[in-house]
């Protein structure tokens, strides 16, 4: 009896500890984000207050209004930056996914000479810190006239993302049993149809997650973009954040407002694709 | 409806040859089972017929067409895979109708064919489920349904029952046999299970190491195995094999009793020839617990080391000539381990194999 009670108490304590630990972890992840949202909505005085004001006294959209107004009134070309970001991220993601699908499928399904070496080589490119590439990239882009263009950044992001998408998509195609494509071929499909009608739909969770990762990488990338863009016509939103810093002051409120605008599309995309990410799609068709 | 003809078909992977010039003629509407231990080339042979594996040499024809270089979709075959290979993102209905949809048939035709196949395999109530929500036996039926829906010339089965539990396997075996009677089509079936082979096949093809060892009806291969491999592979329990020597029209087992030379081998063996005597457990029975034996038979005593009661009969494990042999006891009584019993060996049903070549001397 006593023993039972002891175990019950232990189980409950463990459960509470679990909850507390989870809460702390989530707080660490979420509070900076929430702080940005909060700061974008309150006056600069309150942002800079020491000690920090946790519960805001006044919330308004002043920073957003200012951001969208003219240059003299603290405005920045938000729409232009947004368009730049969108063009660059979407195009580079699409290309990275196409290449990633072709490459991932090849690595998952075919045997060819030097397969392991090529694969390791691709992975090694991930070991190079992005910033280390900035100077060589700058020189190459400057010589080829690609500096300060959409195309330049798109190329950079494609090359950054392709090894990763190949690796991720390869893993997902590996999980798709090759008998599925064979069954499709026997059912009358060409190799190409078998891929698009059977293997791709089954692996689409993986392709979708590769897409999200590629998109977020290009959407959020700052270090290289800040080197390779000059003007309003190619600056992406992360680089645009710097417009709020001047020689002696930083407009934290404005910066936070732009940051919130940056987060929103990424969040929307993640929610949209989320349902494809649900695993378990490959189970059932083939006896496990 | 079509014949399948394999002539001198080779398959190698690099320098490793896995199928060695096999020849096989499969008649229209025939149910042929390829059987053999794993790695014998049976699945590879099936996949070459399907067009999933290119052949390295020889010729395969289906009907009147040589199909050596045709892709699977132009061979008019269908195949049931060991792991079913159902499309997990499609409902049962879509799985069944997929091939017709690819063939650009009208929706009405597809629905009709799918409903018909679902009826045959009692899948009607599951048509809107995804494969993930089906049990193993149901998935197996969907896989078969997907195969029959297009009325192909040849059905190929690649160990379709090996993922099912024993009870379901027996049930599905019967269904496959019924299906064959219903759809009247040529079937090539691969299995490593000799019971499946015996029960399903019109003809059995026994393969080993990329060679065909014997082709024949189930009773043929059971009663007249061409070598010791077939003798031990077909039939359960496997045939007892005892080495011996021919001496004065008798067979002297090495370190064991001397039995008369079976009549069917008189004139086919030389004196002093090293041979292997083969007999099934069904032909070695204790005196008083045996079937009536009409022809010549031998009688000797044997120690029983172990008995396995099976109900109507008991399997006895004894030692004869220094080897373990299996015998059967009909209308059994309990047998103690180590008990010595007199046994009858039905010589008319014995086999002799050459000790060197392992080939039958029949």
Judge if pTM exceeds 0.90: no
Any idea what the Cα angle at residue A148 is, between residues A142 and A154, rounded to 5°?
A: 95
Helix (H, G, I), strand (E, B) or coil at B64: coil
Which stretches does DSSP call E strand in B27-178?
31-35, 57-62, 65-66, 77-80, 154-158
Q: Tokens for B310?
A: 């099976």
Q: Which CATH number fits domain B240-354: 3.20.20.450, 1.20.120.550, 3.30.70.100, 2.40.50.140?
A: 2.40.50.140
- Determine the topology of domain A77-277 in CATH: MetI-like fold (1.10.3720)
Domain ranges of chain B: 240-354
- Nearest CA to CA, how far is A249 from chain B (Å)? 56
pLDDT at A246: 79
B200 φ, ψ to 5°? -95, -35
For the stretch A17-76, pLDDT in tens is 999 999 999 999 999 989 899 999 988 888 888 888 888 888 888 888 888 887 666 677
**Chain A positions in Cβ-Cβ contact with residue B85 (cut-off 8 Å):** 177, 179-180, 182-183, 285-286
* Most B CBs within 10 Å, among A113, A172, A188, to test the B interface: A188
How far apart are the C-alpha atoms of A197 and A138, rounded to whole Å? 42
pLDDT tens by residue, chain B, 362 residues: 689 999 999 999 989 999 999 999 999 999 999 999 988 999 999 999 999 999 999 999 998 899 999 999 999 999 999 989 999 989 999 999 999 999 999 999 999 999 999 988 889 999 999 998 998 889 989 999 999 898 899 999 999 988 888 888 888 899 889 888 888 889 999 999 989 999 999 999 999 999 999 999 999 999 999 999 999 999 888 999 999 999 888 888 888 788 888 888 888 888 889 999 999 999 999 998 888 877 888 888 999 999 999 989 999 999 888 889 999 999 888 988 989 999 999 999 999 999 999 999 88
Which chain B residue has its CA at the smallest distance from A179's CA? Answer: B85
Which chain A residue has its CA at the smallest distance from B103's CA? Answer: A188
Q: Is the distance from CB of B219 to CB of B50 less than 8 angstroms?
A: no
On the 0-12 / 13-18 / 19+ scale of CB atoms within 10 A, A216 is middle
Residue B113: CB atoms within 10 A of its CB come to 20
Helix (H, G, I), strand (E, B) or coil at B2: coil
Q: How far is CA B237 from the centre of its chain?
A: 14
B47 φ, ψ to 5°? -70, -25
A19: Cβ contacts below 8 Å, ≥ 6 apart: none
Q: Is the distance from CB of B206 to CB of B213 less than 8 angstroms?
A: yes
Any idea what the Cα angle at residue B111 is, between residues B125 and A179, rounded to 5°?
A: 75
Q: Is the per-residue pLDDT at A284 higher than 60?
A: no
Domain ranges of chain A: 2-68, 77-277
pLDDT at A285: 44
Which chain B residue has its CA at the smallest distance from A188's CA? Answer: B73
- Nearest CA to CA, how far is A187 from chain B (Å)? 5
Element (H, E) at A193: helix A191-194
Q: Is the per-residue pLDDT at A129 higher than 90?
A: no
Q: Tokens for A61?
A: 């959209």
Q: Tokens for A35?
A: 């702080």
- Nearest CA to CA, how far is A105 from chain B (Å)? 18
Contact at CB, A179 and B77, closer than 8 angstroms: no
Which chain A residue has its CA at the smallest distance from B99's CA? Answer: A187
For the stretch B292-331, pLDDT in tens is 877 888 888 999 999 999 989 999 999 888 889 999 999 8
């Amino acid at each position: 009896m006593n023993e039972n009670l002891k175990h019950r108490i232990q189980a409950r304590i463990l459960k509470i500890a679990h909850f507390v630990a989870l809460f702390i972890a989530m707080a660490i992840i979420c509070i900076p984000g929430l702080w940005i949202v909060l700061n974008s909505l309150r006056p600069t005085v309150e942002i800079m207050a020491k000690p920090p004001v946790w519960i805001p006294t006044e919330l308004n959209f002043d920073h957003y209004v200012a951001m969208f107004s003219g240059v003299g009134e603290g405005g920045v070309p938000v729409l232009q930056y947004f368009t730049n970001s969108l063009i660059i991220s979407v195009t580079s993601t699409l290309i990275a996914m196409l290449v990633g699908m072709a490459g991932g499928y090849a690595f998952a399904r075919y045997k060819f000479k030097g397969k392991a070496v090529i694969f390791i080589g691709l992975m090694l490119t991930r070991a190079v810190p992005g910033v280390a590439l900035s100077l060589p990239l700058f020189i190459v882009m400057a010589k080829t006239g690609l500096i300060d263009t959409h195309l330049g950044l798109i190329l950079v992001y494609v090359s950054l993302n392709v090894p990763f998408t190949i690796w991720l998509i390869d893993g997902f195609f590996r999980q798709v049993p090759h008998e599925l494509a064979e069954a499709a071929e026997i059912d009358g499909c060409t190799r190409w149809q078998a891929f698009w009608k059977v293997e791709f739909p089954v692996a689409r969770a993986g392709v979708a997650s590769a897409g999200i990762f590629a998109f977020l990488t290009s959407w959020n990338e700052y270090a290289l973009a800040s080197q390779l863009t000059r003007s309003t016509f190619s600056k992406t939103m992360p680089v645009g954040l710097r417009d709020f810093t001047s020689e002696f002051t930083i407009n934290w409120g404005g910066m936070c407002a732009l940051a919130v605008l940056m987060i929103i599309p990424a969040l929307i995309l993640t929610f949209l694709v989320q349902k494809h990410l649900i695993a378990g799609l490959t189970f059932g068709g083939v006896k496990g | 409806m079509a014949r399948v003809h394999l002539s001198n078909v080779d398959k190698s992977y690099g320098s490793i040859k896995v199928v060695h010039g096999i020849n096989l003629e499969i008649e229209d509407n025939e149910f042929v089972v390829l059987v053999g231990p794993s790695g014998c080339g049976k699945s590879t042979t099936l996949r070459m017929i399907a067009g999933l594996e290119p052949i390295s040499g020889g010729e395969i024809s289906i009907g009147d067409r040589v199909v050596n270089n045709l892709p699977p979709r132009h061979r008019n075959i269908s195949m049931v895979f060991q792991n079913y290979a159902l499309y997990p993102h499609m409902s049962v209905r879509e799985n069944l109708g997929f091939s017709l949809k690819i063939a650009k048939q009208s929706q009405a035709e597809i629905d009709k064919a799918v409903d018909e196949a679902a009826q045959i395999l009692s899948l009607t109530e599951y048509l809107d489920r995804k494969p993930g929500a089906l049990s193993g036996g149901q998935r197996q039926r969907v896989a078969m349904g997907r195969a029959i829906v297009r009325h192909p010339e040849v059905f190929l089965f690649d160990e379709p029952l090996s993922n099912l539990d024993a009870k379901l396997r027996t049930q599905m075996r019967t269904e496959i046999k019924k299906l064959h009677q219903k759809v009247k089509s040529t079937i090539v079936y691969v299995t490593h299970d000799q019971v499946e082979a015996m029960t399903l096949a019109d003809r059995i093809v026994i393969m080993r190491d990329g060679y065909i060892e014997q082709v024949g009806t189930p009773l043929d291969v059971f009663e007249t195995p061409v070598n010791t491999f077939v003798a031990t592979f077909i039939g359960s329990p496997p045939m007892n094999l005892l080495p011996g020597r021919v001496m004065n029209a008798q067979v002297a087992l090495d370190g064991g009793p001397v039995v008369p030379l079976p009549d069917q081998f008189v004139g086919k063996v030389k004196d002093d020839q090293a041979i292997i005597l083969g007999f099934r457990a069904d032909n070695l029975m204790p005196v008083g617990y045996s079937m009536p034996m009409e022809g010549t038979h031998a009688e000797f005593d044997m120690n029983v080391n172990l008995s396995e009661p099976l109900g109507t009969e008991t399997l006895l494990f004894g030692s004869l000539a220094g080897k373990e042999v299996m015998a059967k006891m009909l209308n059994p009584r309990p047998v103690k381990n180590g008990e010595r019993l007199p046994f009858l060996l039905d010589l008319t049903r014995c086999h002799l194999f050459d000790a060197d070549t392992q080939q039958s001397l029949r």
